[in-house]
Amino acid sequence: MPEEGVKLISHTEILSFEEITEFVRVAVSMGIDKVRLTGGEPLVRKGITGLVSMISSIEGIRDLSMTTNGILLKKYARELAAAGLRRVNISLDTLDPAKYHYITRGGNLRDVLEGIDAAVDAGLTPVKINCVVKVSSGEQDAVAVERYGREKGLDVRFIRQMDLEGGEFSIVEGGEGGNCAACNRLRLTSNGRVRPCLFNDIEYDVRELGAGKALKLAVDNKPACGSSNITGRFYNIGG
């Protein structure tokens, strides 16, 4: 998130839980069986466990997960598990409390570490740690995170710092993200756009087209490789 904050959008522009659930229902009927809730930060949305429950009740979903910064996980982990969430990916770029506070613009590292423990205790496993690096996993902070993950029995993946507008991305170390040749992912934004690729400006409006048509267009027009995105930012289309 930029230091100056972000421009908020009207509440009426944001998809309701019912709209999201209906979209997922249509997606499942078309063959999609894995759903991940991401952000921004999904746990700051009021009633998020209700959405998890609504989605998890859809027959045909094989995997329901969430990507979170982990700060609120201690509060919600058991509730999320009870609602049907199966696992979490947690962002953790450093184990230095001062550095974490700086790069997250005020976050408390202890909250995240306690959230990770809560996720494990609640059975939201395997817990996967997403660690952003500038160049490689050999960097000091990345090495410390990898050691922490190994001691805790967590899966750690390293993600090169990306630039949407510049088209700079790479394959995730320890994961599958960023591999255009194998990518079959679609993104539904909070304001109802289906994006077939984060590194592209293509999007289809669910409210205008309907879920089925928007999904079909996104699949049919998914680019062979990412290029650049000049209309979105990670804080509003997800990462």
Secondary structure (DSSP) of the chain: --TT--PPPPGGGSPPHHHHHHHHHHHHHTT--EEEE-SS-GGGSTTHHHHHHHHHTSTT--EEEEEE-STTHHHHHHHHHHHT--EEEEE---S-HHHHHHHTTS--HHHHHHHHHHHHHHT--S-EEEEEESS-TTSHHHHHHHHHHHHHT-EEEEEE--BTTTTB--PPBTS-TT-GGG----EE-TTSEEES-TTS---EEHHHH-HHHHHHHHHHT--SS----SS--HHHH--
| pLDDT block averages, 10 residues each, the chain of length 239 | 66 94 98 94 96 98 97 98 98 98 95 98 98 96 98 96 89 91 95 95 97 98 92 69
**pLDDT for position 92:** 98
Structural domains in the chain, CATH included, are 11-237 (3.20.20.70)
